[in-house]
Amino acid sequence: MHDKYISPLSERYAGKEMQYIFSPDKKFKTWRRLWIALAKAEKELGLNISSEQIEELEKFKDDINFEVAKEREKIVRHDVMSHVYAYGVQCPKAKGIIHLGATSCYVGDNTDIILMDEALKLVRVKLVNVMYKLSRFALKYRDLPTLAFTHFQPAQPVTVGKRASLWLNDLLIDYEDLCYVISGLKLRGCKGTTGTQASFYELFEKDDFKVKKLDKLVAQYMGYNSCYAVSGQTYSRKIDSRVLNVLAGIAQSAHKFSNDIRLLAHLKEIEEPFEKDQIGSSAMAYKRNPMRSERMASLSNFLISDALNPMIVASTQWFERTLDDSANKRLSIPEGFLAVDGILNLYLNILDGIVVYPKVIEKRLGAELPFMATENIMMAAVKAGGDRQELHEKIRKLSMEAGRVVKEEGKENNLLELIAADKSFNLSIDELKREMDASKYTGRSSKQVTEFIEEYIEPVLEEYKDKLGMDVRIDI
């Protein structure tokens, strides 16, 4: 247990469902399903394969004799032929027709597509659950004004919900990309050793119709509509690149969210969950480190860099195929999915217990609001008989003075008092304070949140309404 390396992705981060998709058990059971689909299709198209042989294959499809395969692989040094042999040991009547006409990539590549397809669909369900929880958060706080930042410098106010809608919009883009990639996935099918279907062309005595029909039947038996029209020995490795790119897109969105949460935690405006007995620092007992957001950023960095792997593989394949893709694929594809699963689990967990501090938000906004309100104050002064150009210059100078008092003397923002003392503005301190209603300066923030969620998010949530409400526990 403790004497060999275990990937942190499986030990600490990814959920059990995603781990199973890329497990040996799932992989080799899928191989057997593909061998059964091939045998059924070949029988249907007239090859000498009996129902009895197929029944025998069906009987042992989920009973993998791993030890037999392992011992055989020591001898033949070939994983596919080792499992063909092991299946044949269990199915002596069908032994001769297992893998008939196929090459290793028939099971290897078709399985890779099937596993990525299942994993993408699991990612989509989790992503929609994040979108659901984030949309509820945005709606809850759509009216709460908060100081906006550009360049991390105070800017015109938004609302907490409006800011959350930016995170949500990133996820909507990811969702749309995800749906597109899933909709485009096809099986490799039965293409033979170099993609020419030569072995099947011979098996079916050069009957083009039957060879083409074989692809369609295998796809249908495996639950797919079609296969890629052409391939070399493998499906195009650009498919792997496309898949990991969409996962890396989710990582980008999550990383941006985690950055904002960590900055807000520093400002004491919003915090991720912090459990009663959680320790923030071994030395500083008072600390509340944003551990979940930091972990999300860390996993996102890994996943974004992982997307480079299939790009390199796809661009460096030679002719019909080289095997320098194999070891890389075994690492980069499963680990990319385990990483995105861990990221989405963290996102769900943070949203389940996220804490907002309205009083802190109000205080920080209040300290900057006099600066934000200068345009409104100037307009009120003009209505009271002032000269706009003259007032603009005065309010600029008074703003600079108020800024100096805050920065150099460490005092509160006294801009309103400075303006009230200047007779040119003809405004009392009470009149000026009435301009300090923060909701006057958030524009259409609240309406934008409502409209965005109703028009774009709710249709997605409605489609997945039976799969919403996912809860995730972060154990470590």
* Catalytic residue list: 151, 281
C-alpha torsion 431→389→394→372, nearest 10: 60
Angle (CA) 316-317-318 rounded to 5° is 115
Q: Give the burial string for 206-233 (b: 16+ CB within 10 Å, else e).
A: eeeebbbebbbbbbebbebeebbeebbb
Q: What is the DSSP string of 7-37?
A: -HIIIIIS-HHHHHHTSHHHHHHHHHHHHHH
E-strand stretches of 250-304: 270-271
* Tokens read off for 74: 């020591």
The values of phi and psi at residue 32, to 5°, are -65, -35
AA letter at 12 = R
Query: What whole-number distance in Å separates Cα of residue 314 and Cα of residue 234?
Result: 11
Query: What CA–CA distance (Å, rounded) separates 146 from 168?
Result: 18
CA angle 176, 180, 181 (to 5 degrees): 120
In degrees and rounded to multiples of 5, residue 230 shows phi and psi of -135, 155
Q: Which two tokens stand for residue 261?
A: 């949460």
Specify the 3-state DSSP secondary structure of 462: helix
The tokens describing 324, both together, are: 């320098």
